[in-house]
Structure 1
């Protein structure tokens, strides 16, 4: 067991096992467990961090080292901002975690780092089982709790809409007619090369800068987060994992919606539309077009991310299932 460093946009030797473990687990947010999500964040926000990625019999653990000072050391998932993804994947992950804890105890002795494990469901039982396997005097504290929203795509688009409110269906029908009268149409994009990903992302950022988020400098066009989504789209391209739809008017992009696939689960990421088109319900209409596309592909589930937090209330109209998401801090007892 050892730390490694990864150059930009490269893959660790455990990549395929990592991807398969993320796709076939029962995690709250499977897409954010994938190496594409985790490594894109690493490339954008912490490319100099040392990584501990190890596998055994189809299971993987993936952590990053964060050195605040010689005395303050953190071990976290590669994406330690939202903690959507779980760094412990597969049946052998608890044993790998125990080995990693003993490795950290030896590597940093006499200190022991603070370990953050996110992307877990509710309850202390699993965490306590992890600690028991280490044979070390460790304790865990719940440091973050959230709720993720999800919708079934069973029954196709008609089935999905049947589970929405009558009021939402009426509003969508009215908005769709208004958009058609305006000449708004939708274009599907599935980038498969780095060049296609870059061209697609350039279009997305142009829309974002024309949106209220871009005007207020609080969206994905800002430094750091702009690189993250760029790298994410780039990593998804060779796996054919990205799904982007543009709303267009005449020869202009006036909206986009973007997300990625983890097997038969789609995870929404970002959508935006030009501020001068705010009266045309493009957010809702692009959601419908995205669901239409996903249903045609046989996707089973649409994950919409966090339901709690500012400006997330709209998601309750589009989802019917809520999954708890927990982050734990492990430290010396």
Structure 2
């Protein structure tokens, strides 16, 4: 597919054709995100990337180019004087990669030529995230483009994950004895207190909206909601609202609510990437619980209930996102894989 800039301009035949071209790319985009050894497959996929663009940076140009087995996708985040910054559509957390597949180099080369034509009086600065520093993409970028372009490290993080090989029993066998004992004790305590867990399957936009409203009601009573630092605040509120809608529509939402005495007291949700013969990766998004129920260990139990569900479905990996920082240390009890990712700035040499 030729290089195509997609804009949020007036409707019409051209706009319809552009939107259809993007829709045609989505299956390849999803497939490459799921099957090319990404550190965070879900965050490379269109649901995550386009949700950020639609809610956090609406109206920005989107550029994409496909080759057989390759994709490059960027959005314009800043055009100022002689500099234009082009970044992945999700350019806040920078978890995903805008270059996917064995032919990503060909897709990038075509995109660079198109950028030169689109910005004849400016030098595009490309932000490329989700790079595994010792992976094939990093090697390809330096080998193929290092003569004409300079690369600067722009940031890094560590993503954590766990294998679901062997189902729930296999997963638990790879946790510490202390962690397993705590989970059993918490489960008995919650059951005695009358806590129940329900798997949610919203099938319509209205049902997804109602489920998200229930989550937000719990969030408002959580420590994050009380401190006004959770997903009840903009732009996270709008971002996750649309993400829940997208995942529900695609059948990839996995959400669980915790109740006690007929009242919601906790939730957890995330999404799947991939599936079929290759299996699916699950990426956790948010979980929360009412502050007054803190003694029930709902965070741990919601994670456990999610793992039960995923293992029943045959998912093969449980991704929990970044593990950097003291607030993320709890994830180490649940995971055993760490994947470093870097963000590079790519600039044409004088």
TM-score by length of 2: 0.90
Residue 261 of structure 2 is aligned with which of 219, 225, 250? Answer: 250
- Secondary structure of the 1:316 match is helix
Tell me the equivalent position of 1:212: 223
Tell me the equivalent position of 1:315: 331
Q: How many Å apart are 1:134 and its aligned residue?
A: 5.1
Tell me the equivalent position of 2:277: none
Q: How many Å apart are 1:221 and its aligned residue?
A: 0.7
CA separation in 2, counterparts of 1:126 and 1:90?
9
Retained in 1: the 8 A contact 2:64–2:111? Answer: no
Retained in 1: the 8 A contact 2:82–2:121? Answer: no
Tell me the equivalent position of 2:123: 112
Residue 186 of structure 1 is aligned with which of 173, 197, 206? Answer: 197
Q: How many Å apart are 1:80 and its aligned residue?
A: 0.5
- Secondary structure of the 2:211 match is helix
Residue 312 of structure 2 is aligned with which of 296, 302, 319? Answer: 296
Residue 278 of structure 1 is aligned with which of 281, 289, 294? Answer: 294
CA separation in 2, counterparts of 1:125 and 1:91?
9
- Secondary structure of the 2:6 match is coil
Q: How does 1:7-18 map to 2 (within 5 A)?
A: 12-18=23-29
Q: How many Å apart are 1:127 and its aligned residue?
A: 3.5
Q: Deviations 1:177-213 (Å, cap 9, x if unpaired)? A: 1111110010101223222211111111111111000
- Secondary structure of the 1:200 match is helix
Q: Deviations 1:5-59 (Å, cap 9, x if unpaired)? A: 2589x95331122122212221110011110110100111111000002212142
Q: How many Å apart are 1:326 and its aligned residue?
A: 1.1
**Structural RMSD (CA):** 1.9
Q: How many Å apart are 1:60 and its aligned residue?
A: 1.7
Q: 4+ runs of 1 displaced by more than 4 Å?
A: none
Range moving further from structure 2, 55-64 or 74-83: 55-64
CA separation in 2, counterparts of 1:307 and 1:283?
16
Q: How many Å apart are 1:111 and its aligned residue?
A: 2.1
Is 1:265 aligned to 2:247, yes or no?
A: no
Residue 97 of structure 1 is aligned with which of 95, 108, 115? Answer: 108
Structure 2 gap ranges (5+): 10-18, 275-279
Tell me the equivalent position of 1:32: 43
TM-score by length of 1: 0.94
Is 1:325 aligned to 2:336, yes or no?
A: no
Retained in 2: the 8 A contact 1:95–1:133? Answer: no
CA separation in 2, counterparts of 1:146 and 1:139?
21
Retained in 2: the 8 A contact 1:99–1:134? Answer: no
Tell me the equivalent position of 2:5: 3
Retained in 2: the 8 A contact 1:147–1:325? Answer: yes
Tell me the equivalent position of 1:197: 208
How many residues were matched structurally? 332
Structure 1 gap ranges (5+): none
CA separation in 2, counterparts of 1:192 and 1:64?
31
